[in-house]
Structure 1
Amino acid sequence: MKTLFVSYRVTDLVRSLDFYTALGYTELGVVDIGNGSRLVLLQFPGEPAASLELVHRPDGGRVDVGSGFDHLAIQVDDLVATQEHLAAAGLEPGPVEYPGGPDGPKTSWLTDPDGYRLELVEWPPGRPDGITAADFS
Structure 2
Amino acid sequence: MRTLHLGLRVADPDRAVAFYTAVGYQVVGRVPETPSGQLTMLKLPDDDVVSVELVFDPTEAGRHWGTGLSHFVIQVESMEATITDLRAKGIEVAEPESPDGSADFLTTWITDPDGNRIELVQWPTDHPAEITAADWS
TM-score by length of 2: 0.92
Could you say what the CA RMSD is over the residues aligned between the two structures, in angstroms? 1.5
SS at match of 1:33: coil
Residue 104 of structure 2 contacts residue 125 of structure 2 at CA under 8 Å; is this kept in 1?
A: no
Q: Residue type matched to 2:98 in 1?
A: Y
**Distance in 1 separating the partners of 2:134 and 2:27:** 34
TM-superposed deviation, 1:111 = 0.3
Q: What percent of counterpart residues are identical? A: 42
Alignment gaps of 5+ in structure 2: none
Q: How many residues align?
A: 134
User: Which residue in 2 is equivalent to 1:8?
Assistant: 8
Alpha-carbon distance change, 125 to 34 in structure 1, aligned in 2, over 3 angstroms: closer
Q: Deviations for 1:11-57, whole angstroms, at most 9, x for unmatched residues?
A: 0111110100000000000001269x310000011311100000011
Alignment gaps of 5+ in structure 1: none
SS at match of 2:120: strand
SS at match of 1:64: coil
TM-superposed deviation, 1:63 = 1.9
User: Which residue in 2 is equivalent to 1:63?
Assistant: 65
Residue 76 of structure 2 contacts residue 122 of structure 2 at CA under 8 Å; is this kept in 1?
A: yes
Q: Give 1:6-85 correspondences, 5 Å limit.
A: 6-33=6-33, 37-60=37-60, 61-65=63-67, 67=68, 69-85=69-85
Higher strand share: 1
User: Which residue in 1 is equivalent to 2:123?
Assistant: 123
TM-score by length of 1: 0.92
